[in-house]
């Protein structure tokens, strides 16, 4: 009985002091009248979390696809033209990435050329062996020259 009396006294004090201490009941989580608003906020937060999770999953899938594509390009199982087409498709779904790639290759005439040059740089960064990087650069320079005859060779650019 004594415990119940203490709880009742504390509750009465909280309710009695509430008007003189604005925000105190809310800060203590005792604003039961605000439950509908809080439930709406929780639902909105859950929707936002789901949206962000979807975006994270999409970006993760694109990174894995780029890694696989770069490995295929390095191994010679995919041409630069095919890899560039896939990278360009990925660029379309990520406007910020596309803007970054456009800024990185301002002298490229088209997004396809930018994608091709980005593919080369992306694949090059996956090679630790300098000799392998040199072989890839020679092969990619030849393919780049065929695809975009006015483009300077990939071997002459710095990888960044």
Give the pair of three-digit tokens for residue 150: 């006015």
Task: Please check whether residue 83 is in contact with residue 119, taking contact to mean a CB–CB distance below 8 angstroms.
Answer: yes
Residue at 75 is within a domain: yes
Identify whether 29 is part of a domain.
no
When mean pLDDT is compared across 2-6, 8-12, 127-131, 156-160, the lowest value belongs to 156-160
Q: What is the pLDDT, as a whole number, of residue 5? A: 81
| 87 and 52 Cβ atoms separated by less than 8 Å | no
* Domain assignment present for 135: yes
Residue 148 lies in a domain: yes
- Nearest Cα residue to 81 out of 153, 159, 144, 5: 144
* Structural domains counted in the chain: 1
Domain extent, residue 105, equals 63-156
pTM of the complete model: 0.65
List the alpha helices (DSSP H) in 18-148.
24-27, 35-75, 80-93, 95-104, 111-124, 130-147
List pLDDT tens digits, range 40-95. 999 999 999 999 999 899 889 989 999 999 999 999 999 999 999 999 998 888 88
């Amino acid at each position: 009985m004594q415990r119940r009396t203490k709880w009742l006294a504390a509750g009465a004090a909280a309710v009695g002091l509430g008007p003189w201490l604005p925000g105190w009941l809310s800060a203590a989580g005792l604003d039961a009248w605000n439950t509908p608003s809080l439930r709406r906020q929780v639902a909105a937060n859950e929707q936002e979390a789901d949206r962000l999770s979807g975006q994270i999953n999409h970006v993760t899938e694109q990174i894995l696809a780029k890694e696989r594509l770069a490995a295929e390009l390095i191994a010679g199982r995919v041409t630069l033209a095919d890899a560039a087409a896939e990278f360009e498709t990925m660029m379309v779904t990520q406007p910020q990435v596309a803007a970054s790639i456009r800024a990185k290759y301002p002298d490229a005439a088209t997004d396809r050329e930018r994608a091709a040059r980005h593919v080369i740089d992306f694949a090059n960064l996956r090679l630790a062996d300098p000799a392998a990087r040199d072989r890839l650069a020679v092969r990619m320079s030849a393919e780049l020259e065929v695809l975009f005859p006015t483009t300077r060779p990939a071997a002459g650019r710095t990888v960044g």
